[in-house]
Amino acid sequence: MDVISVIRTKRDRGELSPEQIDWVIDAYTRGVVADEQMSALAMAILLNGMNRTEIARWTAAMIASGERMNFDSLSRPTADKHSTGGVGDKITLPLAPLVAACGAAVPQLSGRGLGHTGGTLDKLESIPGWRALLSNEEMLHVLDTTGAVICAAGDGLAPADKKLYALRDVTGTVEAIPLIASSIMSKKIAEGTGSLVLDVKVGTGAFMKNIEDARELASTMVALGTDSGVKTIALLTDMSTPLGLTAGNALEIRESVEVLAGGGPSDVVELTLALAREMLDAAGIKDADPAKALADGSAMDVWRRMIAAQGGDPDAALPVAREHHVVTAPASGVLTRLDAYAVGVGAWRLGAGRARKEDPVQAGAGIELHAKPGDTVTAGQPLMTLHTDTPEKFDYALSALEGSYDVAPAGTAFSATPIVLDRIA
């Protein structure tokens, strides 16, 4: 087997054989195939696609590159959730303890932000003492004692994906649907969860800009999970507007705690409950009411135990940025548009995100929204507040926000886009 033949097969729109796929994934993981060669193959896949058989084999080969976890020792059924990424997408934070409070075990392996999309681990690391890196034994212990764990994937889990993802990010091939689907599903299947709910984002702030591409990605991932014996469903959800009223690390932790306390923005609560119901149903738990678990404080109790079990102090004050800048409404009327991508880029430029994986993030940086589409605003009232420790970044962030919102005359009709756009099972 040689890599040039594999590249040429896909370059010429051919179907990769199982042997070619197994070999190239293993050889790349071992360093036999060079980055520039895998870059060429990834670009050929982006341009020419893969069929279901190829994607399934590619995913299986990435799973086989590392270890597989097992949660059979737990007394609860396991359910996990994965989001394809968005702006203000803090849903994992209240969702994991909520589903655990309703009787499932939630082994949530999460990632870090890159570019305009935020990372769950970066958000949680704004809590003093909290640890993202756990051994498999520690992860299982936290899961067994609290019902939920949110942590980083270990180096032994699908190492081929870890290496390939970093390469795709710097070679313009992140958007390849076969590679997105196999990347997500190789980690989730190797993780060993019994059921999986996918939150596939659609809109300006998501990787999938239109619903047709999102539906293709969701269908591909649902098929991969189903074929591997993991009960998998997907919700297509709107990401044209940021979720909630915050985009940033500590800012989103604060908002998530508000949701767990029975408050918080209505869109965050709505999506959290929708995903919780899907996760509980997939896990076979039919009689639990996640809305009640939010209202009676049981989800908050799980959150506090989960944070403490990973070294965090749930009562500690969260970091606050040293500097802020207020953006005001240019006119009175109805806010009809607030672009998620622009807000995400603005928060990233303020220090909430990173351009490279090794870049640090500011815990307190980000954007706080004071109005959402459909709200009536008055000229001069705050629309958003920018937070950062480095005020020289304000102009850079403000340039990203230019033209990102529209204010129409008072009385203009406004119709909100539903949060959940479709369901694929």
For residues 179 and 181, give the distance between their C-alpha atoms in angstroms, rounded to a whole number: 5
Sort 99 into a burial class: Cβ within 10 Å, 0-12 / 13-18 / 19+: buried
Shared-domain flag, residues 328 and 302: no
In a domain, 349, yes or no: yes
Which CATH number do you get for residue 36? 1.20.970.10
425 within a domain of the structure (yes/no): no
d(CA 38, CA 48): 15
Q: Specify the pTM.
A: 0.93
- For residue 185 the two structure tokens come to 């599903």
Q: What is the pLDDT of residue 317?
A: 97
Q: Is residue 315 part of a domain?
A: no
Same domain, 263 and 390: no
pLDDT value for 116: 82
Give the residue from 245, 274, 309 where a domain finishes: 309
The verdict on residue 138 lying in a domain is: yes
pLDDT score at 172 = 85
pLDDT digit string (tens) for the chain, length 425 residues:
899 999 999 999 999 999 999 999 999 999 999 999 999 999 999 999 999 999 999 999 999 999 999 999 999 999 999 999 999 999 999 999 999 999 999 999 998 877 788 889 999 999 999 999 999 999 999 999 999 999 998 888 899 998 998 888 788 888 899 999 999 999 999 999 999 999 999 999 998 999 999 999 999 999 999 999 999 999 999 999 999 999 999 999 999 999 999 999 999 999 999 999 999 999 999 999 999 999 999 999 999 999 999 999 999 999 999 999 999 999 999 999 999 999 999 999 999 988 776 778 999 999 999 999 999 999 999 999 999 999 999 999 999 999 999 999 999 999 999 999 999 99
Q: Let me know whether 132 and 31 are in one domain.
A: no
Nearest to residue 388, comparing CAs of 343, 322, 326, 327? 322
Straight-line distance from the first to the last Cα atom of the chain, in angstroms, rounded to the nearest whole number: 38
- Cα–chain center distance at 405: 24
pLDDT of residue 357: 66
Count the domains in the chain. 3
Distance of CA 23 to the CA centre of its chain: 30
| CA distance to 200, 227, 245, 295, per residue, from 380 (Å) | 36, 55, 19, 36
Examine the domain organization and report whether 116 and 203 are in the same domain.
yes
Task: Mark whether 115 and 27 lie in a shared domain.
Answer: no
Residues designated catalytic: 82, 161, 168, 183, 187
Residue 102 phi, psi (nearest 5)? -95, 5
Phi-psi region of 172 (alpha: psi -120 to 50; beta: other; left: phi over 0): left
Single out the residue in 276, 309, 342 at which a domain terminates: 309
Picking from 268, 286, 309, the residue at the C-terminal end of a domain is 309
- Domain range spanning residue 250? 79-155+168-309
Q: Is the distance from CB of 179 to CB of 173 less than 8 angstroms?
A: yes
Q: Are residues 265 and 329 in the same domain?
A: no
Q: Are 353 and 114 in contact (CB under 8 A)?
A: yes
